[in-house]
Structure 1
Amino acid sequence: MSLVTEVFSEAELQALCSSHKGLTTLLLWAPWHAPSVHLIKVLEAIAGEQKNACFAKVDIVDLPIKLTEELLVTAAIIIALVFLWTYRANLMLALTGDSKLHGSFLDCVWCCCFQCCGLCTGEWTGCFTMMPCCPPRWRRQNLVRMVGKQLGLSNYTVELRNLVVGDLPFDGRADIFLSVECSSNPAMKTSVAEDRQAKVIHYPEVLTVRLRHCFLEENVRISVFRLNVVGSEELCTITVGAMNIIDWARNPSERMKRFQLKSVDHGNLDRETPAWLLVEFGEPIEVRDLDNVRSVDTIRTTTSDMTRFTQRSVAEYKHTYYLLDSAGHAIDEPFEEDLAEVRRMRTNVKYLFHVWNVLTLLFLLCYAAFRSYVWSCYRRFEWLTMAVLNNATIPTHFPLSFHAMESIGADCQAEVSGTGLQGVPCRPSIGQVNMLCQGSQYLDSLHQPWPVAYSGYEWEEHLFGSSHVGLRCMEGICSVRQWVVEREYLLLGIILGAIIFNCLLRWTCEHRIQTLKARKLRERQQESIEFRRGKRPQNQNFYANWF
């Protein structure tokens, strides 16, 4: 009898493995390349000497179909993932209308850690930088943003000026424009230089980019495009590191750079000289100093000589420059004073709504945590009561561990489940459990430790590295549990009422805001009617005197 068994199915393989407690070695072979006779004899000799070893061979064609299905499913998932990654831009464009994800890891860190998820912008720190002892570079600056810049999490503002390209790879004349892409922001484009030759092309724009001084920041990509009748064609491009741009912008002697552009069309004939880009990187020199505008209702405009700026409130500008439609006709709009009152009311309502939401959530979390603590303690006292009452018939060795108490509870649950029995050892009454949890005298006589809530679980002990985990149960906690049970529906009704009141509060506040807007609109309409009535008698007297 051959000691190398031939297996034809998965059931035979499982039976072979379970027939002995030793090592099972499986030899896979294909019908076009069978194992040699010498190898079989060697394996049989080893199996004859080693009784705890078992050898088997199987045709690879007879492997279970389940394995083949798993391989096919895995391959299909890998192909799908590769397809989604390859065409991710088209997929995002179809789902969201944009081919780029406007966010990065640095944006998440900045928003979560430095802006408290958008709740605090740090503008309140500007009062500290207004002092005379503050360095000029930090004067009137946001300290949170300045610290974020030093850590590479907040943006620096860099201007790209004196944009000139030359020796572009095309013949004749064409319409050329530049495109600048940085970080996860949308691409910025210059105006189109119409009907220009390839030798030298100037652009009057000053492009502003916002970059982080961090190695994780994406590079800045500057591309040259030719505008065609249908679409546009990329001619050449260059990629520059964000950290280098910031360093050049800080150093006045390193701001002007001329870069070699890489041609995109590799099939084009070699040019006599490579294309190039001349650009000046610099810090913002915008007269209005827009990065340091603190007020949200302020408009800054430059003077006619472009050397100073004027600053006035939005209300003043709205009274000076009327709102116009596309044809240049004046149209009505709400007064800024009315909008300020509505905005103030909306802000107060928003804070009130958020405060009530927080209180409701805190009450719900506190109730859930307290109820979980009470029930965890009561469950342990109930198991101990079962062990004490069953000690007369089933001797129990105290002290009991958590797993022993849990096992007693599971056995008693299986014994009395569906019987309807009350007051028996496996289903003690509330009074019997209360007698045990009123004090520790009886448990001390059994050398049983006082129960601890949330303790005894292995994953907790592995997580904290200690077996002393949990909260000690209060004496008399069983009576508290009975009080909660008697008022369970009342407490749930309070929670439900708070949620319903939250919805009603939101509806009421929205109605109040709409009422205020409608009242302001009626007041302005009444003022307009009275204004027209005040002018009408003069016109009537004029026509009466004429006739």
Structure 2
Amino acid sequence: PGVPGVPGVPGVPGVPVVDVPPVKGQVEFSTMFIQAILNIIGGLYNIVVQFLTDPVESFLQILVIFLAFLLIWLLCKFKDKVIFLLTGDSNVHFDHLDFLAKLLELFCGSGEWTRSCCCGYNIVTRFGQGMGIISNPVRISNIAVGDLPVVGRHNFYVAVECKTDPEMVTSVQEQKHPKVVQFPESLCVRLRRNPTEHRLRITVRHQRDLGHATLCEAYFAASRILSFCDKELGVQRFQMRSLDDFAGAHDTPAWISLKFSFAGKGLEQHIDEAPDDLVGSYVFASTPQVWNEEHQDGLSIAQFKTEVPLLDTHGHAVHEPLEETIRGLNCCRACLHGTSRFIWGFALWGMLIFSLVRLYASTCFSAYKLYAKAIQGDELWDNVTLPFTLDSLNRIEEYCDEEVTCPEFAEIAEAVNSLVLPDMRKRDVRRCCPSKERVLEVCKEPPGGQAPYFLRTIVRRSFNKDIGHNGFMCTEAACRVHMESFIRNDGLIVSLFFGLMLLGCLIRMMNNYCIQCVKDATARRHHDGESYMQDRTPRSNRAKGTMMTKKEPAQCSCDIM
């Protein structure tokens, strides 16, 4: 039966057998697939059984899960409204690049200290701009839109959304034809030269009696805009995408023409690169910090306040403190605040360094003490060899912790000899409770010439892993530091720490009290001077509502703290 020369299937004449060995990957995948199907079926079966057993509880569980998923979906869909409800703003003004910028400021400061040695340039800002974590100012000018997908004259304006910054809009052009609408404004946005920067979104909106409607939009990559600025391409026209509600309403695609450029030379560059170092402006009072169209060369803060007096919204003069007075108050505040911050920083860093030193000393001392337990002179424990292994050290430590209770004064050799114990027990106690002198001997001359390691000891105790000879070698000084009494005096260290923190708080309170006294004295002098000038004012002038004032502005009543 079967085909001659070919082994056949038993019981089936004429059918040959072809032995094809199964592929290992196919078998594993089939097994995993079948196991997954069985797990799903088993899970559904358990759910059905539980539902039939206790339908009310099962229904409540399903309802809770459904409501949780519904809540998550609603939070994701209406996240802008949720954020507005919680914060009063619909946007989160922070992203990963802002985090990197704050780290740069944390480590390098504002960079104003680099101006004195780098020809007036802020090197930290320039470095951050080159790395793509600090923004570059880009001016958008010559804005015009046309062929808008709407019929008839309407009120139009352009909105610009740049990364996480607040939205900017142009003025409203009233009753303009949608064929072409021009805007006289120039908007300044700040973009970072980074591939992960948010895209710039420009929209054209139609203002309605209630709300507005977005007609079309265009997205620009930040790197592409900065490339346009580098090449100085001038005015360009871009296509805009009509939104769904207005798609197909016009035969010609909507467009926007504008010019991307960096801040120009002169006034704009001075304003963008103006120094904002408050300490430097107080030390060098004549440093230019304010620029405008009437003062292209810049003015110091004191000169600017003299040239442009302070007015209220009705155009009447308002008294304000002299810049010299504010400078003195701020210098006093900076000194005392700096002192309190130095004390707080000293206390915090001192506590941190002390904790690390104490941890290092105690860990190394315990490691050397374990070495002293493992070897007494030339006598080793059973099955323990040099250099020590992780298993042998763990076995010795577990035996000593479970079987031996060290006497109160175990560091004294006579204390062990005075115990009424068998000789073998005395030997175990003497091994597991080495004296401080014995530990110091081991610290000076580690067994086998191999000292323990700080991180290795911590990892061995915490995770029972051996990382080898790595992680800060323990020295003899660590043992001596651990034996100092003040290192183990928790009460003294905690009292010193809280005492320094309290001293910083007292200095800060004294600072606020002194500054408030100076402000009150200045206000009294201003009030006395104003009353004196009012007494010398003729009654006819007072009846007309005019009042002579001193030439020097006096202290205002607002709180400058």
Structure 1 Cα separation of the partners of residues 129 and 445 of structure 2: 62
Three-state SS of the structure 2 residue aligned to 1:455 is helix
Q: Closer, same or farther in 2 for the Cα pair 1:485/1:217, shift >3 Å?
A: closer
Moved more, 90-99 or 460-469: 460-469
- Return the offset for 1:502: 2.2
* Matching residue within 360, 365, 379 for 2:347: 360
Three-state SS of the structure 1 residue aligned to 2:435 is helix
- Return the offset for 1:293: 1.9
- Return the offset for 1:225: 0.7
Structure 2 Cα separation of the partners of residues 479 and 111 of structure 1: 39
Q: Closer, same or farther in 2 for the Cα pair 1:486/1:230, shift >3 Å?
A: closer
Superposed CA RMSD in Å reads: 4.4
Name the residue aligned to 1:455: 456
Contact 2:217 2:242 in 1 (8 A): yes
* Matching residue within 108, 113, 118 for 1:124: 113
| 1:258 corresponds to 2:242 | no
Three-state SS of the structure 2 residue aligned to 1:216 is coil
With the length of structure 1 as denominator, give the TM-score of the two structures: 0.73
Moved more, 145-154 or 334-343: 145-154
Summarize the alignment of residues 331-480 of structure 1 with structure 2, pairs less than 5 Å apart: 331-384=318-371, 386=373, 397-399=384-386, 400-415=388-403, 432-440=434-442, 450-456=451-457, 457-458=459-460, 466-474=468-476, 477=479, 480=482
| 1:284 corresponds to 2:263 | yes
Name the residue aligned to 2:204: 224
Q: Closer, same or farther in 2 for the Cα pair 1:94/1:392, shift >3 Å?
A: same
Structure 1 Cα separation of the partners of residues 50 and 400 of structure 2: 42
Name the residue aligned to 1:12: none
Three-state SS of the structure 2 residue aligned to 1:201 is strand
Structure 2 Cα separation of the partners of residues 66 and 438 of structure 1: 66
In structure 2, give the amino acid aligned to 1:211: L
Contact 2:368 2:442 in 1 (8 A): no
Structure 1 Cα separation of the partners of residues 296 and 505 of structure 2: 47
Contact 2:234 2:260 in 1 (8 A): yes
Three-state SS of the structure 1 residue aligned to 2:522 is helix
Contact 2:138 2:261 in 1 (8 A): yes
- Return the offset for 1:356: 1.6
Structure 2 Cα separation of the partners of residues 59 and 207 of structure 1: 60
Contact 1:437 1:475 in 2 (8 A): no
Equivalent residues, number: 473
In structure 1, give the amino acid aligned to 2:236: K
- Return the offset for 1:414: 3.5
Contact 1:248 1:281 in 2 (8 A): yes
Three-state SS of the structure 2 residue aligned to 1:471 is coil
With the length of structure 2 as denominator, give the TM-score of the two structures: 0.71
* Matching residue within 85, 95, 98 for 1:94: 85
Structure 1 Cα separation of the partners of residues 48 and 391 of structure 2: 41
| 1:159 corresponds to 2:139 | yes
Summarize the alignment of residues 471-490 of structure 1 with structure 2, pairs less than 5 Å apart: 471-474=473-476, 477=479, 480-481=482-483, 483-484=485-486, 487-490=489-492
Contact 1:28 1:60 in 2 (8 A): no
- Whose RCO is larger (CA < 8 A, sep 6+)? 2
- Gaps spanning 5+ residues in structure 1: where? 1-22, 34-57, 131-139, 540-547
- Gaps spanning 5+ residues in structure 2: where? 1-30, 52-57, 282-288, 417-425, 542-561
Structure 1 Cα separation of the partners of residues 43 and 199 of structure 2: 56
Contact 1:438 1:475 in 2 (8 A): no
Contact 1:181 1:221 in 2 (8 A): yes
CA-to-aligned-CA distance 1:353-391 (integer Å, 9 cap, x gap) = 2222221122212211222122213323444555568x9
Contact 2:347 2:501 in 1 (8 A): yes
Structure 2 Cα separation of the partners of residues 519 and 141 of structure 1: 41
Moved more, 191-200 or 503-512: 503-512
Contact 1:260 1:275 in 2 (8 A): yes
Summarize the alignment of residues 198-347 of structure 1 with structure 2, pairs less than 5 Å apart: 198-252=178-232, 254-266=233-245, 269-285=248-264, 287-289=266-268, 290-294=271-275, 298-303=289-294, 309=296, 311-347=298-334
Name the residue aligned to 1:39: none
Moved more, 322-331 or 224-233: 322-331
